[in-house]
């Protein structure tokens, strides 16, 4: 067990975060896993073990205990829009989405991610993997209208902050997330939202999670940012060689 890297995944009770946490736990020959969640319910949801910390990323002091002593940080926190109560699907139209007070993208995706990056830097963390989203090059992207939150604008600001931080980083801008089996598709890397114009613009959450963990293992993933999509299942051989995949990436932001 000596000298295994300790990896903290934040947003560990989220839909992609919990897959990363589980994968880290399964690979206890390579990693010591830690998780950060916002609530006691979130902690229970992923097994309630002592390696799961509760903290609020908007308050740097509350996340410091989780960050102490870690070697790598995987950031999977994100603001989540809620459907406005009272929507009746039988009446047609579209549901309205809102963010809860204090849980807007500016507070979660910008301030909360900046706090994590700053705390990790102070703690001497050697690698930060940040999961962002494709679509950030377009300020008029429909996702920015959700709850008037400008979510992709704030996510992109955090991505830029990490790229400028001096800490080795990998920024994975995921395509549309699918709740499908991982390890069954060929993964495609791109830049500047070019994949959004193709039919490879979606990716299973489990494949995003796997890419996060593989990024921790290869120098080729450091100081790089890339869009990540996939080909349809069954159309090509699934990606197994992540070193080669990361080697294709040349962009730093």
What pLDDT band is residue 84 in, cutting at 50, 70 and 90? confident
Which pLDDT score is estimated for 251? Answer: 87
Rounded Cα–Cα distance for residues 39 and 105 (Å): 18
- Residue-wise pLDDT for 116-167, tens only, equals 999 999 999 999 999 999 999 999 999 999 999 999 999 999 999 999 999 9
| Start-to-end CA span in the chain (Å) | 35
pLDDT at 172: 98
Which of 169, 161, 72, 164 is closest to 124 using CA atoms? 72
Told to judge if 13 belongs to the known catalytic residues of this protein, a careful annotator would answer: no
pLDDT tier at 32 (50, 70, 90 boundaries)? very high
> Who wins on pLDDT, 89 or 22?
22
pTM: predicted TM-score of the whole model, two decimal places? 0.96
CA separation for the pair 71, 49 (Å, rounded): 20
Q: Name the active-site residue from 13, 78, 133, 230.
A: 133
């Amino acid at each position: 067990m000596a000298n295994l890297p300790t990896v903290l995944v934040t947003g560990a009770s989220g839909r992609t975060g919990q897959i990363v946490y589980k994968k880290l736990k399964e690979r206890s020959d390579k990693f010591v896993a830690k998780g950060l969640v916002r609530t006691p319910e979130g902690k229970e949801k992923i097994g309630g073990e002592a390696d799961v910390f509760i903290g609020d990323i908007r308050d740097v002091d509350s996340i410091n205990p989780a960050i102490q002593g870690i070697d790598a940080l995987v950031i999977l926190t994100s603001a989540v829009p809620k459907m406005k109560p009272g929507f009746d699907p039988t009446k047609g139209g579209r549901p309205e989405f809102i963010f809860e007070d204090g849980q807007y993208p500016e507070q979660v995706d910008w301030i909360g991610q900046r706090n994590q990056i700053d705390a990790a830097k102070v703690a001497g963390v050697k690698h930060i993997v940040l999961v962002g989203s494709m679509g950030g090059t377009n300020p008029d992207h429909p996702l920015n209208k959700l709850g008037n939150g400008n979510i992709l604008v704030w996510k992109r600001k955090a991505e830029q902050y990490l790229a400028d931080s001096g800490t080795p980083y990998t920024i994975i801008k995921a395509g549309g997330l699918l709740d499908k089996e991982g390890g069954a598709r060929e993964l495609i890397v791109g830049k500047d939202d070019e994949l959004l114009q193709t039919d490879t613009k979606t990716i299973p959450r489990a494949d995003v999670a796997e890419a996060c963990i593989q990024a921790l293992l290869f120098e080729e993933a450091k100081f790089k940012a890339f869009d990540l999509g996939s080909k349809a299942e069954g159309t090509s051989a699934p990606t197994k060689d992540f070193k080669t995949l990361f080697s294709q990436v040349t962009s730093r932001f």
